[in-house]
Structure 1
């Protein structure tokens, strides 16, 4: 299988070119990414536990899905594609905001992303792709905050950063 490429960007999200995903993470270069947060009608967030076979952060909990846009894809198209690939369902998505973060890992890789954060609604069980996702659950924001404080090692580095930004956004905008 051919290595997936990411879109390198400047701080204004202007594309600079394409690079293999692993190389971009090895070099810590800024690239476009997205994070999807799916809520049900009870206002619970769907989390996924990354599959055991993932090359980094296996078995850690994170937001519903996240990945990288492909060349020619809009942010929403990319979010819908990856939601289907990982969680096995489709739903409408709305982009809320974007921000830049940088998170180095112990294995030498660095996430340096201009992350587009999206939200959607869904009320059924996903049909997870077990190559990508080990498990999933619904959780309230308050329970999630408590668990992330008590057990931070059970969550991906990027989710802790993204969730803080997301939480500030929803508090400010009264979601």
Structure 2
């Protein structure tokens, strides 16, 4: 099986090539990514705990799902695909915003992503894929903010960055 490729982009989100995912993370090259936040009718966010077998950030809590778009795949198509692969359900997703961040890991890899943040709504339990997800929970937005300050070590590096952007977007747009 060939390794999945990521879409390298410039700062305007214009594609400039494809590269194997691991190589892009080893070199810290800017590439397209997405992050999905699923909320329920109580305005809680569905968090996932990454599976213990993940090559980085195992067992840390993060947003509902995130990954990389494939060539010729829209942000929403990619988000829906990965949401189903990881969490076992499908919902409509809406693009909220995008931004660039860079986050190095202890293992020498670097996330340097132009991240498209999307939102969807769901009120049931997911059917998690145990290869990808260890556990999940609903958590109020304010409780996530508080817990990240008290227990930053239990959250993924990128989620701490993305959640801050997501939180400010919700505040300014009254979503």
Global fold match (TM > 0.5): yes
Shorter-chain TM-score bucket reads over 0.9
How far off its partner does 1:68 sit? Answer: 0.0
Matches within 5 A, 1:64-79: 64-79=64-79
Alignment of 1:13 onto 2:17: no
Alignment of 1:89 onto 2:68: no
Alignment of 1:159 onto 2:162: no
**TM-score for both structures, normalised by structure 1:** 0.99
Distance in 2 between residues matched to 1:168 and 1:144, nearest whole Å: 13
Deviations 1:72-103 (A, max 9, x none): 10000000000000000000000000000000
Q: Which residue of 2 aligns with 1:27?
A: 27
Cα RMSD for the two superposed structures: 0.4
Extract unaligned runs of 5+ from structure 1. none
Question: Runs of 4+ in structure 1 displaced over 6 angstroms?
Answer: none
SS of structure 2 residue aligned to 1:116: strand
Matches within 5 A, 1:92-111: 92-111=92-111
Q: Which residue of 2 aligns with 1:3?
A: 3
Q: Which residue of 1 aligns with 2:148?
A: 148
Q: Which residue of 2 aligns with 1:47?
A: 47
Q: Which residue of 1 aligns with 2:117?
A: 117
Distance in 1 between residues matched to 2:87 and 2:141, nearest whole Å: 20
**TM-score for both structures, normalised by structure 2:** 0.99
How far off its partner does 1:145 sit? Answer: 1.1
Extract unaligned runs of 5+ from structure 2. none
Q: How many residues align?
A: 175
